[in-house]
């Protein structure tokens, strides 16, 4: 199971909120956090997102899986920003990233991909008359979420295999298998889409 993303079944208020509403709120949240420039305000926002995990009753196991992946990365980003921009700006950048990633992950944990795709298609259906194809946009959204989950699984499994070979200090021992498996996944996805006829109705160029 992927540590990031993938639906976590539940009956909380976040699970029951329509996917379209949550998606719009997520976009508004992304705008909000990039308008805020105070570490205190951003810290309060992060605390609010973490409270959302409690409201959604996300198992501690899933929260730990996310933290184990994100915290080392955020620590590196903080140190680099501190070195170049100073401690306060480093805190702002790091808290923005933490809030955005945590909120997006909470969204995917409480939202079925099929529900989101359907909501996107319904929301964009009025634009069909101006040339927008809602089903294609919905497919793109669904594939994006599934790709994030798939890459997370590949990365986690590759890291475990690297550790099993006692090759933790070798970048190539992770990068090469990860790249090979990612390309293989892309080929399999392309074959699956072709088998379903995706793109067959596109005009020839």
pTM above 0.85, yes or no: no
Instruction: Specify the DSSP class assigned to residue 203.
Output: P
pLDDT (tens digit, 9 = 90+) per residue, 149-203? 666 677 777 777 877 777 766 777 777 787 888 788 777 767 766 665 555 555 5
Tokens at 36, concatenated: 């805020």
**Residue with the larger pLDDT of the pair 5 and 118:** 118
pLDDT of residue 108: 85
Report how far residue 197's alpha carbon sits from residue 205's, in angstroms, rounded to the nearest whole number.
18
> CB under 8 Å to 39, separation ≥6 — which residues?
88, 91, 92, 95
pLDDT (tens digit, 9 = 90+) per residue, 57-97? 998 888 887 787 778 878 888 998 899 888 889 899 999 98
Tokens at 3, concatenated: 């540590």
Residue 131 has pLDDT above 60, yes or no: yes
User: How far does CA 101 lie from the centroid of its chain?
Assistant: 7
> CB under 8 Å to 52, separation ≥6 — which residues?
14, 103, 106
Listed residue (71, 70, 90) closest to 79, CA to CA? 90
């Amino acid at each position: 199971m992927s540590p990031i993303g993938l639906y976590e079944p539940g009956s909380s208020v976040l699970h029951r909120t329509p996917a379209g509403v949550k998606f719009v709120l997520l976009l508004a949240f992304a705008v909000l956090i990039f308008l805020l420039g105070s570490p205190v305000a951003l810290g309060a926002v992060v605390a609010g997102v973490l409270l959302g995990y409690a409201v959604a009753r996300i198992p501690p196991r899933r929260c730990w899986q996310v933290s184990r992946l994100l915290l080392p990365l955020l620590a590196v980003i903080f140190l680099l920003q501190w070195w170049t921009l100073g401690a306060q700006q480093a805190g702002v950048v790091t808290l923005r990233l933490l809030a955005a990633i945590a909120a997006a992950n909470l969204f995917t944990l409480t939202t079925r991909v099929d529900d989101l795709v359907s909501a996107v298609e319904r929301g964009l259906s009025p634009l069909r008359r101006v040339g927008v194809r809602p089903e294609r946009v919905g497919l793109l959204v669904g594939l994006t979420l599934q790709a994030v989950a798939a890459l997370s699984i590949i990365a986690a499994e590759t890291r475990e295999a690297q550790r099993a070979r006692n090759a933790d200090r070798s970048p190539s021992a992770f990068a090469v298998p990860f790249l090979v498996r990612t390309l293989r996944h892309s080929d399999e996805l392309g074959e699956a889409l072709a088998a379903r006829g995706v793109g067959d109705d596109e005009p020839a160029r």
